[in-house]
Structure 1
Amino acid sequence: MTDPKRIVSLDELKAALQLAIGLELSTIPVYLTGLYSIKEGTNTEAVQTIRSVVMEEMLHMTLAANVLNALKAVPSPEPVTFRGKQISPIPVYPLDSPLIAGIGTLKLRPLSPQAVAGYVDIEHPLHGAAKISEIPMGSCVYATIGEFYEAVLTALADPAVCPDSAFEHRNQVPASQYYGGAGYVIEVKDRDTARKAIQKIIDEGEGLDPAKLGKTAKTVTDDDKLRNGWQMYSHYVRFRELQSGRRFRSTQLANQEPEGALVLVDYDAVHPARHVAINGDTVGGPEGAALSEFDLAYTRLVDDLYLAFSGQKKKVPDKLEDKGVALRPALPIAVHGMYGLKNMAVALMRTPSPAHPGQTLCPRFFYASTQDARDKLREGIDHMREQSR
């Protein structure tokens, strides 16, 4: 009898890798919402922890994209067919994953005990369950992120699924372009480097083996130490330290209660942002325009990331060029866009919500997938700004 979780063809493997890029992307806005809600100059330890995880999620997106490129496919935000279902790799929040049952509903919310508990459940090997059989599957394909990545690893090891001839060293994001966090970019050229890239994703957090909970919490390799000595142990352990308010001692196991130094988290030093989905409460005026401006900026950022992942360059205005347009590497442009997006998010979280007294606006991280959707956002922005004059 065929294992229903097994990836059985090269096309299915490529679809799974498209969804892996999206899976890594789906956690980033969840963590960024918590990070950007922190009032400036406060909660320095929480800021450092969340930022470090976000940087590694970016690395994981890059690694999955490098594997996909090496299999002669193009990373794309377009929906893919996987197990008979059309699944978009780009998340819409709140998100109920059609791929992974255990992670539950991913919500955008400011830093709070509930938000941190959600981070812990995302990164827990069994997503908070005592055993995998307790996870309600619904219509999802895999119970845990670990199951998903194990299926990808198994497929990459199977010549019947992806023969040696399927691999080619092409369109790789090189290590020189990775701009922070622990770990390193692996350029993929064959089966061995492809499996190493996926294993790196697993080792840093996603797909963590449940058996690792019985091992030393602060397991660190030389690859996962920054030059300043900061140790990038697993995402689960880092978020457990935030949740418990204490560090793990160096001798403790990951399944124990942290007993080390205090980790001070002030949940009152947080902007009370309230996320409203794109199809939720109607917000007009300058507030609504600002929300939609963020969505357009986020859309551009996602497009730039996929351009970078696919080895393409971006057309940008350039007065020095004959036609006024130049081709530039997309990844540095995307990195620049991330900083701009941060400033927009922080501004939103400082803006009182007209619909919810006592709370502030929250970025929606909505990706407008079609030109029509982008045009409607732009038209809506112009209309709301005109109304407020």
Structure 2
Amino acid sequence: MPDTIQLPSTVITDIDQLQAYLQVALQLEHATLPPYLTTAYSARIEANKPAIDIIRAVGKEEMLHLTLAANLLNAVGGQPNLNAPDFVPKFPAHLPTGQNDFRVGLERLSEHAIDIFLAIERPTPPETASVVQYITRTVPIAARHVDPALLKDNDPMVPITPDGENYLLHYQIATVAHADLSDRRRETSEAGVSLLPHVMAQDGPAPITLHYWSIGEFYKAIHLGFVELCHTLGEKALFTGAKKRQVGSTAYFSGGGQSMEVTGLRSALAAIDLIAGQGEGNNSSVYDKEGEIAHYYRFDQIKKRRYYRNPDEHGGDRAGDPQGGRLAVDMDQVYPIRANAKLADYAGHPELERRALLFNGQYRRFLARLTRAFNGEPELLDAKFYLEMFNIKDAMQALIRNPIPGTAENAAPTFEMDKFIDEDETSEATHGMESTTEDRLENFLQLSVQLCGITHFDLTGTGYGKDYFATVEEIVGTPLMQRLLDAFVGLPPTPAPASFQAAILNHPEFGPVARNIIKLWYTATWFQLPTTWRDNFGARARDQSHVPYPYAYAKSLLGPAVGAHPAGAKPSGHQSWALPPMPLPVPEECL
């Protein structure tokens, strides 16, 4: 960059520009959720629970950041809009990392996915980055606007020093000139698909474009914008938003932390500090002022296969050098989902296509409910809202666990918000889907459909179809399993209840096994076969009451059958006890 460049002294000059930046902040905080959740739910929980827990915990905090960004926008008279046509990016999307641009996609758990997550949460640049140009500003701030907690932070986002009875804020906002961008990031910017806004600086007679080095630098610009507009306009003129539009801690709470209302400069800066502190962290410190590990370093744990230690024990660890216990990750134990799946990938497979469209409609309703909650109806963040979040998880997992026929890949949500079916999935009967699994496994699943009254898609969507098939066959033996399946296949495609009962449930050999299959699906438990059955048909060594797969309980069918979640496995939300049970239709294929 030429030495003659005249950097701007500030970047946000009026309320309209601040509102535009905050709407972008909403979009940025949400943009990471589909990639994080898709990757987390692509992993098999038995082998990757620690990694799944880390990614989901970050996702919960991104939801908190989304809420705080909405509070910031509402505080200055804006209107959060999560249903704007371009709010959900088309994946793969583009995000900046210094001079370069990188693509954020929807993909399975892999080294590549974790590298992308690290790039998303990248800390601010080291001072040695040669192409960095800093927008430098020192701004006074009254003591009443400073949260005392910020003064205890040894490494704040914006350094603060005493100035008599008040303080000074020292801004250094890292940018990089358009000419110094990599070819890919320059092309992304010129094509207008970058999510971050740019800044204009003066280089001789012609202005040039500067780009924020990272998302953290973008938030520094918002921080500076609040402080300077408060100086020029006055706090009362800046914070004109109605208090009833704020989502406080009583209306929103999740594992990601508590929300806070933004009613003035002090709370605005505290909210920005929380968003940035939980996210990037910095190059020298792993922990925020609360002793929590920043998002970047949480993902670094997955990358390094080792935990960072608690800072209260041994003083914590240096950035990039975790010394805690081993973190088990098996990148091979994942569902082989198609990366950045599109509806077009499901052409010719009507049930997959329909489920993907239903998911998109479900996600649109979720964003619409959030938009209403952020625009004066915070009471909508109730038990039904949290139940809907769990329903979204279940719908994602059901897609991820179903193969795309004729390929070696599984399906995945597409998040194409312009392609959807806007209806409640439970309001319409569903139909079986094609399968490319082995005939005997397929026949076992079809038998389970008749036994359990659950669709083929939903049984496969639990992720335990193959496991349960293997469990039953291992216990009763292949010959008996084959005879049971042959008896079922010999029935008409839609057998009358009486004929099905006579051939399967009332059969002296098949009946107890079939009833155990029902109990296995509904309770995730194999119960020992009756004594009379063992006496007549022979005892099996593995025929003991046991739980074959500990994590299967959360996917057992008993909870959904009564309109609830498995106790202790899936919290259904605050005050969910007050909601009436949901009516559950019988799938058409089971009638």
TM-score (structure 1 length as normaliser): 0.78
Secondary structure at the aligned position of 1:353 is classed as: coil
CA distance in 2, matches of 1:89, 1:70: 21
Ranges in structure 2 where 5+ consecutive residues have no aligned partner? 1-5, 133-175, 199-211, 435-588
CA distance in 2, matches of 1:184, 1:333: 19
Q: 1:267-306 residue pairs with structure 2 within 5 A?
A: 267-278=331-342, 280-284=344-348, 285-306=350-371
Instruction: Indicate yes or no: 2:284 matched with 1:214.
Output: yes
- CA shift digits 1:46-95 (9 cap, x unpaired): 1221111011000000000011111122111355xxxxxxx933222111
Q: Give the C-alpha shift of residue 199 in structure 1.
A: 1.0
CA distance in 2, matches of 1:186, 1:101: 34
Question: What's the RMSD between the two structures over aligned residues?
Answer: 3.3
1:347 aligned to 375, 388, 398, which one?
Answer: 398
AA aligned opposite 1:56: E
Secondary structure at the aligned position of 1:93 is classed as: coil
The residue that corresponds to 1:28 in the other structure is 33
CA distance in 2, matches of 1:156, 1:193: 11
AA aligned opposite 1:73: G
The residue that corresponds to 1:119 in the other structure is 117
Q: Compared with structure 1, are the counterparts of its residues 348 and 310 closer, same or farther at alpha carbon in structure 2 (3 Å cutoff)?
A: same
The residue that corresponds to 2:303 in the other structure is 243
Q: Give the C-alpha shift of residue 120 in structure 1.
A: 1.1
- CA shift digits 1:133-161 (9 cap, x unpaired): 57535225233101210110000001366
AA aligned opposite 1:236: Y
Structure 1 or 2, whichever has the larger Rg, is 2
AA aligned opposite 1:186: M
Q: 1:86-165 residue pairs with structure 2 within 5 A?
A: 88-97=86-95, 104-126=102-124, 131=129, 132=132, 133=176, 136=182, 137-138=185-186, 139=189, 140=194, 141=198, 142-158=212-228, 159=230, 163-164=234-235, 165=237
Q: Give the C-alpha shift of residue 333 in structure 1.
A: 3.3
1:46 aligned to 7, 27, 51, which one?
Answer: 51
Query: Would the aligned equivalents of 1:66 and 1:188 in 2 still touch at CA under 8 Å?
Result: yes
The residue that corresponds to 1:260 in the other structure is 324
Q: Give the C-alpha shift of residue 305 in structure 1.
A: 1.3
Q: Give the C-alpha shift of residue 336 in structure 1.
A: 1.8
- CA shift digits 1:225-257 (9 cap, x unpaired): xxxxxx631001110001110112444555333
CA distance in 2, matches of 1:152, 1:121: 21
Of structures 1 and 2, the one scoring higher in RCO (CA 8 A, sep 6+) is 1
AA aligned opposite 2:352: E
Secondary structure at the aligned position of 2:258 is classed as: coil
CA distance in 1, matches of 2:431, 2:217: 48
1:3 aligned to 8, 11, 25, which one?
Answer: 8
CA distance in 2, matches of 1:358, 1:127: 41
Q: Compared with structure 1, are the counterparts of its residues 367 and 245 closer, same or farther at alpha carbon in structure 2 (3 Å cutoff)?
A: same
Query: Would the aligned equivalents of 1:34 and 1:111 in 2 still touch at CA under 8 Å?
Result: yes
Query: Would the aligned equivalents of 1:103 and 1:121 in 2 still touch at CA under 8 Å?
Result: no
Secondary structure at the aligned position of 2:254 is classed as: coil
Query: Would the aligned equivalents of 1:25 and 1:61 in 2 still touch at CA under 8 Å?
Result: yes
Ranges in structure 1 where 5+ consecutive residues have no aligned partner? 80-86, 222-230, 314-327
Query: Would the aligned equivalents of 2:13 and 2:225 in 1 still touch at CA under 8 Å?
Result: yes
AA aligned opposite 2:238: A
Secondary structure at the aligned position of 2:245 is classed as: coil
- CA shift digits 1:141-185 (9 cap, x unpaired): 233101210110000001366631221434111112333224421
TM-score (structure 2 length as normaliser): 0.53
Query: Would the aligned equivalents of 1:220 and 1:233 in 2 still touch at CA under 8 Å?
Result: no
2:293 aligned to 219, 222, 233, which one?
Answer: 233
AA aligned opposite 1:241: Q
The residue that corresponds to 2:261 in the other structure is 187
- How many pairs were matched up? 345
CA distance in 2, matches of 1:14, 1:43: 40
CA distance in 2, matches of 1:385, 1:161: 63
The residue that corresponds to 2:415 in the other structure is 365
CA distance in 2, matches of 1:279, 1:4: 47
Query: Would the aligned equivalents of 1:69 and 1:170 in 2 still touch at CA under 8 Å?
Result: no
